[in-house]
A and B are shown apart, each in its own frame.
Chain A
């Protein structure tokens, strides 16, 4: 019995130490990557990554935001019409999107669209010895490969999130006004009265910034630490998607509790 307890304690300690080491390594990666004097070439690389991570994610964000906004409008209307306050549908759509759905859904889509690609790309660079080869040319792969991708993720996701919000609100607008016949003035008027720039919009932006850091960081670290085999890359990609999605949802709850909880 005592043996069993001591064994499980030992196991627990070992697991904890392993996790902490991993976290430490992942933590060290970022400052190492970012502590470098930027050059014009670095700017060019950042631009390229912004294209891959940001511009190429636009389509999926636009389409899904329109649909999510439309569904919110439809669902909100059917509930609100019972209380005779269907003009509040604009407020409902806007608040739901700006506070919660845009940061979270945009981050989740970003994980799937860009995060997994980042992990796979860097993992493959490791397998094909491109990272080792950079090192042999006296170039730090953290600076050359990790840093521009991290910055691109950091810039792209908040922008994608705001685009997501505005497009979602227009999606709701299309449904509520064109289809269900809510008066356009009350759709926007109610919204403007109840959505506050500092309390709602900016906090959504803060959320998306936090998600951007966490998601990009996880994706890059998983790729960088991937076991350099085909299996290793597939494991790392899966881990990126699962881990980043869970962390986004967990952090969202935490931040909502801190920002809007009483």
Chain B
């Protein structure tokens, strides 16, 4: 399986109800890079993350992650594989009944067998990395949106995962928070050496940090390449997305 990248989808087909979301999708994410999956809203980007996380079952096709075939795994193996992945959910998904410290400590308590001291040290280290050590006693309801996302980021990388998924990390953030998250994604990737997979429709921010961009639409891959390649593309479909043209040959996807 090595040589195929961290994530490899082959002929993936998925339906939500009667609606075809992916049709025979092939996709490879390379190790150590920041790969962005882009596409208009409602084209199944979040669904793709759920499929890769094993939370949804594909209709047909295979998904390989970190050299494992997702469909071949039993619950325990899937759980072990998931502990090697980190996810930053769109809404942050911090546990509202735990404070910031316990939120970041959560995956460590579940998977690691650290002493309380080691755990505390690790958590504070991660909180330092996102610059929010002082917020450790607060509850999620007391955090601003930007802070909550940074805490969620600290939690996503708490187990030093090999792949980190970001679901719309820039959506609904003010410009300063967006820049902060962008810098964090880059610096964390450099510091920990993990592969980053970014799902977004924010073109400018994504192009600024991604090494490789995959453009999805109509259940297929429309184009891929470096940000420069994509922005310079002559393909009308790509141009429509990069320039934000509404009246063009590619109809907008249905919202879900």
Contacts and interface: CB of A to CB of B under 8 A. Distances in A.
Contact, chains A and B (beta carbon distance below 8 A) = yes
Contacts of B55: 132, 135-136
Interface in B78-137: 78-80, 82-83, 85, 87, 89-96, 106-107, 110-111
Contact of A129 (B83, B90, B110): B90
Given A128-B96, A138-B80, A138-B82, A133 B110 contact: no
Interface residues on A, range: 10 to 19
A129 B91 contact: yes
Contacts of A139: 110
Interface string A152-196: 000000000000000000000000000000000000000000000
A153 B83 CA distance: 32
B169 interface: no
Contacts, number: 45
A137 interface: yes
A56 interface: no
A74 B55 CA distance: 59
A135 B54 CA distance: 9
Given A130-B96, A132-B55, A138 B89 contact: no
Nearest to B86: A136
A135 to B, nearest CB: 6
Interface in B49-95: 50, 53, 55, 78-80, 82-83, 85, 87, 89-95
Given A130-B96, A132-B50, A132-B55, A138 B90 contact: no
Interface residues of B, number: 22
A132 B93 CA distance: 8
Contacts of A129: 89-91, 93
Contact of B83 (A127, A132, A133, A138): A138
Contacts of A132: 50, 55, 89, 93
Interface in A201-223: none
Max chain B CB contacts within 10 Å: which of A128, A130, A132, A133? Answer: A133
A136 B110 contact: no
Contact of A128 (B85, B91, B106): B91
A138 B53 contact: no
Contacts of B96: 125, 128, 130
Interface string A113-141: 00000000000010111101111111100
B79 A138 contact: yes
Chain A interface, >50% SS class: helix
B71 to A, nearest CB: 17
A26 B128 CA distance: 43
B111 A136 contact: no
B87 A136 contact: yes
A136 B53 contact: yes
A136 B85 contact: yes
Nearest to A138: B79
Nearest to A135: B55
Given A138-B110, A138-B111, A139-B110, A133 B82 contact: no
Nearest to A130: B93
Contacts of A137: 82-83, 106-107, 110-111
B111 A133 contact: no
Contacts of A133: 87, 89, 93, 95
A135 B49 CA distance: 13
Nearest to A136: B87
A135 B89 CA distance: 12
A139 B55 CA distance: 12
A136 B111 CA distance: 12
A130 B94 CA distance: 7
A151 B20 CA distance: 40
Contacts of B78: 138
A138 B50 CA distance: 14
A136 B79 CA distance: 8
A-B complex: 4 closest residue pairs judged by Cβ atoms? A138-B79, A133-B93, A129-B93, A129-B89
17 contacts: A125-B96, A129-B89, A129-B93, A130-B94, A132-B50, A133-B87, A134-B95, A136-B53, A136-B82, A136-B85, A137-B107, A138-B78, A138-B80, A138-B82, A138-B83, A138-B110, A138-B111
